Each structure stands twice: as C-alpha cells, then as structure tokens.
C-alpha cells in the first residue's frame, strides 16, 4: 500500500542553522507514526514541513506516492493533511458546535436569508464527537468549560470531519494529566481505526509506545533511529530516546527506582499509570 505521506532524506536549514538533516518518515492509512525527540530535536520543524508552513530544502516529500511541495497550510489541508497544534485553535467562550464549524460554517437559504444551518451544525457536532467516543451532554456549552483532553478531542474530531486523511498532532498530551492523556490517546487510536494516518509528535516514549506503529527518533535535527512496533520494546525506545551520555544517568535513576519499588521514574508519563486506557482499548 502506498503511504499517505512519505518523507525521504528531508533536510531544512534556517540560515546557518541546520534544523533538520536527512530525516525519513512514512505514515499509511490506519497507522500511527510517532515522532519522538527531546526539545530542540527538530520535531516542530518536521511538523511545519508536513503541514505546509515551511518548505524542505532537500529530500523528497510524497503525498499518496506523488512528489509534492506544499505552498501553504491551505494547500496541505486541501491535500487532506490537518494539523492540530497545541493551542488547538478554539475560541474558549464560544459553544462547542460553533467552534466545531468555525471558518467552514454550513448555511441554508439565499441572499439576505442565507443563514447558519444551526440544526445541522448541532447534530453533526454531536454525532461526530460521539463517533470519536465523546459523549457531550450539551454541545451548547462554551468550549472553555471542557477539560484540556476533551478540547483536544474536539479539535481532532473537527479535523477528521473536515476530510483529513492525515492527522498531525503536535504533542497532544504535553499539557495533560495522566488520565486526560489516556483519553486523548484513545481518540487518537479511534482516528486511526477510522482509517486515518496519524503523525503523533511527542516527547513521551510511554505514550508513543502505547499507540504507535512506527517510531522515528529525532536527536539534534537528525534521525537517531526508525523502528516498527515489532522491532522495539518500550524499554528500548525509552533508552534510545534518552541515548548517549544521558543513558548512564537514566539507568542510574532507574536502578534506584527498582530498589525502592514502583515509583515513577520520571514525571512525564510512568508506564504503569498510563496503562489503564490501553487496557480499555484492548478490551
């Protein structure tokens, strides 16, 4: 099957700064490709190339097997690539259904009677969210009253509804608590099951390993590894992500944890506590 999005040997420089060097990545329909890396590893640059904000300098960028250069984010959207940024692009004081259709509101009637199709908007919002497994009591509530995880899910559902084939998620779990992260990961999995290709950017190997099919590790702008789910364990992924000199420090830390019982090794996302949502999805 042709991958929906395939990057081969992509590089990008900003002036004299080489933000990305020779990075390859692919994502197919119904798959989740995780991009892992620490701060400054080049994750944001990679998203900006995929979502059409920046153009790559060298390498190839294929969509549906066809080499492309995206002129702007609109072009990316037209090719079915939707990006959900960390700020989510929602207006907190507006009701969920108005946010859902913001910028692409369906209308009925003509001329001066052209008006929002409010019924359709409400109904669609409810059903689309339900399809993603979010059961909102009231689509009229301001979106600001939803939790961070739910807002993330609405943003994902919106991208799915507007015909995204590839969903690029920029650290969807970064600002969330453990339980909320679980909820979001479930909806990421739901989007995958709906047949979308997902590029999940994260710095949390635990979250990545829960849902990912492929893993691309970035370090200081270069690829530090590319793996499929079968070829790597969580421990290995964590170790690779820590990598190099930091590895000693981490193993030291882990050793102490092993002695003192099941304490979380790092605040980002202990595997033990993110497990429950995964259990839900396997049931």
Partner 1 sequence: MTASAPAPAPAAPAADERLAPVPLLRRLLGRPELGAVVGAAAVFLFFSFAADSFLRASSLSTVLYSASTLGIMAVPVALLMIGGEFDLSAGVMVTTSALVSSMFSYQMTANVWVGVLVSLLVTLALGFFNGYMLTRTKLPSFIITLGTFLMLTGLNLGFTKLITGTVSTKSIADMEGFPSARALFASQWTLGPVTLKVTVLWWAALVALATWILLRTRAGNWIFAVGGGADAARAVGVPVVRTRIGLYMGVALCAWISGQHILFSYDVVQSGEGVGNEFLYIIAAVIGGCLMTGGYGSAIGAAVGAFIFGMTSNGIVYAQWNPDWFKFFLGAMLLLATLLNAWVRKRAEAK
Q: State in angstroms the smallest separation of the CB of 127 from partner 1.
A: 11
Our finding on whether 110 is near partner 1 (CB under 8 A) is no
Q: Which residues contact 223 (CB under 8 A, 6 or more apart)?
A: 22, 23, 24, 216, 217
Q: Is 66 in the site for partner 1 (CB under 8 A)?
A: no
- Considering the rule CB under 8 A, would residue 220 count as an interface residue with partner 1? no
Which residue number, 20 or 76, has a Cβ lying nearer to partner 1? 76
Q: How far is the CB of 92 from partner 1 (least distance, A)?
A: 6
Contact 206, 271 (CB under 8 A): yes
Measured from the CB atom, the residue of 16 and 114 that comes closer to partner 1 is 114
Distance CA 276, CA 182 (A): 8
Binding mask 24-53 for partner 1 (x = CB under 8 A): --------x---------------------
| Residue 243 binding partner 1, by CB under 8 A | no
Contact between 233 and partner 1 (CB under 8 A)?
yes
135 binds partner 1 (CB under 8 A): yes
Q: Which is nearer to partner 1, 30 or 59 (CB)?
A: 30
DSSP bridge pairs for 10: 23
Q: Lay out the site mask for partner 1 across 68-107 (x = CB under 8 A, - = otherwise).
A: ------x----------x-xxxxxxxx---x--xxxxx-x
Nearest approach in angstroms of CB 16 to partner 1 is 30
The torsion angles phi and psi of 129, rounded to 5 degrees, stand at: -70, -40
Counting every residue written for the chain, the total comes to 283
By the rule CB under 8 A, 186 interacts with partner 1:
yes
Interacting residue ranges for partner 1, rule: CB under 8 A: 32, 74, 85, 87-94, 98, 101-105, 107, 114-116, 118, 130, 133-138, 141-142, 144-145, 147-148, 150, 186-187, 189-190, 192-193, 209-211, 213, 229-230, 233-234, 271-272, 275, 278-283
């Amino acid at each position: 099957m042709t991958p929906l999005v395939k990057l081969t040997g992509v590089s990008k420089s900003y002036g004299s700064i080489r933000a990305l060097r020779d990075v390859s990545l692919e994502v197919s329909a119904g798959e989740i490709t995780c991009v892992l890396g620490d701060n400054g590893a080049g994750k944001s640059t990679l998203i900006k190339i995929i979502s059409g904000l920046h153009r790559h300098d060298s390498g190839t960028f294929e969509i549906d097997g066809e080499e492309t250069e995206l002129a702007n984010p609109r072009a990316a959207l037209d090719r079915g690539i939707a990006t959900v940024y960390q700020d989510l692009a929602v207006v907190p004081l507006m009701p969920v259904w108005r946010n859902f259709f913001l910028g692409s509101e369906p209308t009925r009637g003509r001329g001066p009677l052209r008006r929002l199709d409010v019924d359709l908007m409400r109904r669609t919002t409810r059903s689309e969210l339900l399809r993603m497994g979010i059961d909102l009591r009231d689509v009229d509530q301001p979106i600001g009253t939803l939790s961070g995880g739910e807002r993330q899910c609405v943003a994902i559902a919106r991208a799915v509804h507007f015909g995204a084939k590839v969903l690029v998620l920029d650290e969807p779990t970064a600002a969330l608590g453990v339980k909320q992260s679980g909820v979001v990961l479930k909806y990421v999995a739901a989007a995958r099951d709906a047949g979308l290709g997902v590029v999940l950017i994260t710095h949390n190997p635990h979250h990545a390993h829960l849902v990912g099919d492929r893993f691309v590790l970035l370090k200081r702008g270069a690829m530090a590894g590319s793996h499929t789910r079968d070829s790597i364990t969580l421990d290995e992924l964590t170790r690779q992500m820590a990598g190099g000199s930091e590895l000693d420090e981490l193993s030291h830390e882990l050793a102490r944890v092993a002695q003192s019982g099941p304490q979380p090794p790092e605040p980002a996302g202990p595997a033990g506590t993110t497990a429950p949502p995964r259990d839900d999805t396997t049931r």
